[in-house]
Amino acid sequence: MRAHALTRSGGWAALIVGTVTYAAGGIPFTLLLLAFFVPSVALSRIGRAKKRALVDIGKGGPRDALQVVANGGIASACALAFGLTHDVRLAWAFAGAYAAATADTWATEIGTLARGRPRSIFNLRPVATGMSGAITGAGTAAEVAGAVWLALIAAACLPAAAAGPAGMRALAGIALAGIAGATADSLLGASVQELRYCPACERPCETDPHQCGSATRLVRGLRGLTNDAVNLLATAAGALVGSAFG
C-alpha cells in the first residue's frame, strides 16, 4: 500500500479516516474500510499502462486528499456519529457509503479496461473510454460485484447485522445501497458533473488546466462539480439507502 497508492496529502487524509474509523467503530468498521481500500488499490494496479493514457480525464494515479475525502468522508462522518450515539442506522449508513464507493471504484477500474465501447448511461450513445457517466457491460458487472462484496463483509462484521434474518437484510440492503450509490454516480457524472475541453489537445477532459498545461473550457455541467464532488454525493446516496435498512 506504500508505493504510489496515495499521494502525501492522500496518505495523511487516509490516516485520519482510518483513525476516526477505528476509534469510533472499532475492528468491525475498520474491516469494512479495508474491504473497500485494499481491493481498490489492487485493481488500480491492473493495466496501469492503459490507465496512464487516460490520466488526463482525471482518473487513475495515486489518490490525493480530495479523492480520499470523496470516497471516505461521508463514511467517516457516519462512523463518528455512530461512536457518539451508537445508533444502529449509522452503522448501516457507514456500510452503505463504502458499498457505494466500492461499487463505483470497481466499475471504474474494470470498466476502463473493458474492451466494449463505453456508452452514456442516459442515451446509450458511445462516449470516450474512462469518461464519467459512461457504462460498459463489464463495468456494470463489476459494480454489482463490488456492492455484494462489501455487503458480505458488512453482514459478517457489523454487530448490528447478526446472523439470520438481520444478516440477510444487511446483505440485501447494503448491496442495494452500493448499487444505488454507484448508479447515482453514473447519472450525475453524465449530467451535472463538470465536463471540460482542451483546445490544445482537441479532446474532452475533466481537469483545468489540462494535463498538458493548457487552460480548458467548460462544455457541460456545473462549474466546480468535479468528479470528487460527484463521488462524495454518490457515497451520501449509499449512506441514505443503507440507513433506511438499519
Length, in residues, of the chain? 246
Q: Closest distance between Zn ion and the C-beta of residue 206, in Å? A: 12
Pick from 15, 212, 218, 219: which binds Zn ion (CB under 5 A)? 212
> Which range in 25-33, 165-173, 207-215, 231-239 contacts Zn ion by CB under 5 A?
207-215
Residue 195 bridge partners (DSSP): 220
Nearest distance from C-beta of residue 200 to Zn ion, angstroms? 5
Q: How far is the CB of 145 from Zn ion (least distance, A)?
A: 34
Q: Return the H-helix or E-strand segment holding 205.
A: strand 203-205
Cell, residue 64: 490525493
d(CA 89, CA 74): 14
Q: Does 19 bind Zn ion (CB under 5 A)?
A: no
Which residue lies nearer to Zn ion by CB, 46 or 219?
A: 219
Nearer to Zn ion, 1 or 128 (CB): 128
Backbone angles phi, psi at 203, to 5 degrees: -150, 155
Q: Which three three-digit cell numbers place residue 39?
A: 481491493
E strands present in the chain: 119-120, 134-135, 195-198, 203-205, 217-220
How many other CB atoms are found less than 10 A from the CB of residue 134? 24
Neighbour-count burial for 77-95, b at 16+ CB within 10 Å, e otherwise: bbbbbbbeeeebbbbbbbb
Site size toward Zn ion, by CB under 5 A: 6
Binding mask 172-201 for Zn ion (x = CB under 5 A): --------------------------x-xx
- Number of neighbours of residue 122 by Cβ within 10 angstroms: 12
Closest separation between CB of residue 202 and Zn ion, Å? 8
- Nearest Cα residue to 242 out of 78, 28, 5, 119: 78
Q: Which is nearer to Zn ion, 59 or 210 (CB)?
A: 210
Rule CB under 5 A: say whether 214 interacts with Zn ion. yes
Least gap, CB of 203 to Zn ion (angstroms): 7
Site stretch for Zn ion (CB under 5 A), options 76-84, 108-116, 177-185, 212-220: 212-220
104 contacts 181 by C-beta, under 8 angstroms: yes
> For Zn ion, which is the closer residue by CB, 57 or 99?
57
Residue 93 interacting with Zn ion (CB under 5 A): no
Give 155 or 205: the residue with its C-beta nearer to Zn ion: 205
Minimum CB distance to Zn ion, residue 207 (Å): 9
CA distance 64 to 14: 9
Query: Shortest Cβ distance from residue 138 to Zn ion (Å)?
Result: 28
> Which residues are near Zn ion by CB under 5 A?
198, 200-201, 210, 212, 214
